[in-house]
Amino acid sequence: MDFIFRTDGNRLICEYDAQKLWVEPWGDNSLRIRATHLAAMQDEDWALLPPKACDVQISINGRKASLVNGKLRVDISGGGKIIFSNRKGETLLEEYVRNRNDIQEFCSALEIEARQFKAIPGGNYQLTVRFESNPQEKLFGMGQYQQPFLDLKNCTLELAQRNSQATVPFALSGLGYGFLWNNPAIGQVTFGKNITEWMACSTQQLDYWITAGDSPAEIEENYARATGTVPMMPDYAMGFWQCKLRYQTQEELLEVAREYKRRNLPISVIVIDFFHWPKQGEWKFDLDYWPDPEGMIRELKEMGIELMVSIWPTVDKTSENYPEMVQKGYLVRTERGIRVSMDFLGQTVFYDATNPKAREFVWQKAKENYYDKGVKIFWLDEAEPEYTVYDYDNYRYYRGTDLEVGNIYPVMYAKTFFDGMTKSGQKNVINLLRCAWAGSQRYGALVWSGDIDSSFTSLRNQLKAGLNMGIAGIPWWTTDIGGFHGGNPEDPSFRECMIRWFEYAVFCPVFRLHGDREPHSKPLGTSGGGLCSSGAGNEVWSYGEEAYDILVKYLLLRERLRPYISQIMEEAHRKGTPPMRPLFYDFPEDREVWNIEDQFMFGPDILVAPVLYEGVRTRKVYLPVGAKWRDVNSGKTYPGGQFIEYDAPLQVIPLFLKDDSKLVIKV
């Protein structure tokens, strides 16, 4: 085949038969690639923001064309193969082609194309995009997956949202590039040893963005400019958040808040969890159990505590808002079978967050019943959304089928409340969500890792998940300290897990205690806010005297760190810098740190090496080249470029400060 090349301004256009391929600058050192077999290219930017103007060099020379934007160059052959390289001429990424059409590239009888559009009924395509694999490459980011791997090379990842799984399809390569799969379709990516393969189940076109940089920080900052950054985190959000499944009454919640104050313990946020409402989809307090919301919120504010309230996107078919919402097309539809999205204490349907009128409807209900009463932070739960059956081919949104656009749902859910709150005059919006996609961060999304297991295995997985979420462009991230499912406060084994998790969580972007502890108390009633049981106590005093002393020690440490946390949150806001990040982010020239998956930097100054196994009282710690390291616990200084064996009894987490840091930490 012979592609025809032409330009349209700064855009390089390549055409052959029905295929149209666009290559254009999209920010510093960055390019956006789109291709389609339809009559026209889709005008939808998805995660990307409008780019600033760039000076580029475009060259068309017979059967070849190239475009250079700063540190990134793309070359396209007459057969259509794409190769990206850096300013040194080193190949960063190239398409995988095996056919006879262009003997200058790779003559092969296999007949495998780099960009395969396979027609499916209804007019869309199943899209597969293939790249050559460098077996030595290391890849990071891609969001949150419940697995024990930081380096994603040789992994296969589902591109779909589930409870505790958030697909945010940006990968940072150790070769010096970043790659965003700018397509919200359900799909899959394989970072294989022999091939890299991206697949979308149903889409109209190919769309990805690629950037080059001399360091991971430069790549991350390019990406943040392309997709947006978080707002500045409000000061209160940097402190301690108290939560459990679930405070059943107004008086129970207030008594917990008062007890923190009686003990002179810092607390910034307290949370009312789900089923405080009469019915799902009514988005208001059940006054039988929460009789005076305004008075409750007023007392909490007098104590310096913000109230966060749980919101679910579910609408019960018997709720007061269901008839109007179904009539106006504000609910997710099913292609077949009974229209039920989630079966949990009632047959419910999710509101369609991709519909702007549905977003406005839900916000107005929340504004009237919560925001206007003083609630200024929301817990946007079930954000995937969590279908009872994940039949992605059976759901349809305002913006298209679930297969085609499903991964965008959590972004639009966050946007529902962000737009409403900013329109009401609020600045520095932050809301807690259980899922995200690329771009969620610019709508104030703080993501937590979902309904995870209460175990050391789960803790180890969360460490990797949080670091990869930061690299994927979601700098506000947290966990349920101690995990969500299970955990008995009287169990010595779980108490140890809680202590180690709490020590680690001090150095997460948000410090939040939550969980569904055993044993449960009984429901208080048979309707509304009385329907659900409650987990056992989950306050810092719930785990015995030894644990209490340790938890308070680290609770107070977090409070002392707040000025430093404010500085690193400013970096996240301005540049997209993840507050917690792998060691290679700050020390990319030290090749050893690219192999370290159980330590991280919290901001530029603090190296954190959490204890991640039950019964362990020592651990190996690597100190990167490029700094001397001061042990926070002993005061001893070590040169970088070495492993040390570190004593870590139950009350100690290994912490080191860079030698040039002015930060003082007293544990």
Neighbours of 55 (CB within 10 A): 9
Rg of the chain over all Cα atoms, to the nearest angstrom: 26
Q: What are phi and psi of 443, to 5 degrees?
A: -105, 25
3-state secondary structure of 200: strand
Burial class (CB in 10 A: 0-12, 13-18, 19+), 499: buried
166 Cβ neighbours under 8 A, 6+ residues apart: 143, 144, 410, 434, 435, 436, 437, 447, 450, 469, 474
User: Which letter does DSSP use for residue 357 in this model?
Assistant: H
Maximum Cα–Cα distance across the chain? 79
Torsion sign across C-alpha atoms 330, 334, 338, 344: negative
Q: Which of 113, 306, 352, 381 is catalytic?
A: 381
DSSP string, 453-515: BSSHHHHHHHHHHHHHHHHTT---EE--TT-SB---TT-HHHHHHHHHHHHHHTTSSSEEE--
The answer to whether residue 402 is catalytic is no
Provide the residue type at 136 as one letter: Q
**Beta strand 125-132 pairing with 115-119:** antiparallel
**Range list of β-strands (E), 503-627:** 511-513, 580-581, 600-602, 606-608, 618-623
Helices 545-560 + 562-575 axis angle, to 10: 60
| In the block, residue with structure tokens 């890849």 | 139
**Distance from C-alpha of 604 to C-alpha of 223, rounded to nearest angstrom:** 20
Q: Which two tokens stand for residue 487?
A: 């955990």
Q: Which two tokens stand for residue 444?
A: 């104030």
Q: Which two tokens stand for residue 649?
A: 């009894």
User: Which letter does DSSP use for residue 95 in this model?
Assistant: B
Query: Which of 230, 163, 535 has the alpha carbon at shortest distance from 381?
Result: 163
In contact, 603 and 656? CB cutoff 8 Å: no
- HSE on the CB side for 269, CA within 13 Å? 29
The answer to whether residue 451 is catalytic is yes
Burial class (CB in 10 A: 0-12, 13-18, 19+), 567: middle
Query: Which of 133, 376, 124 has the alpha carbon at shortest distance from 236?
Result: 376
**Distance from C-alpha of 309 to C-alpha of 114, rounded to nearest angstrom:** 48
Burial class (CB in 10 A: 0-12, 13-18, 19+), 192: middle
CA 409 to the chain's CA centroid:
13
Q: Which of 384, 480, 539, 590 is catalytic?
A: 384
Provide the residue type at 607 as one letter: L
Q: Which of 45, 451, 518, 614 is catalytic?
A: 451
**Distance from C-alpha of 76 to C-alpha of 60, rounded to nearest angstrom:** 10
Query: Which of 117, 183, 128 has the alpha carbon at shortest distance from 400?
Result: 183
Which sequence positions are flagged as catalytic? 381, 384, 451
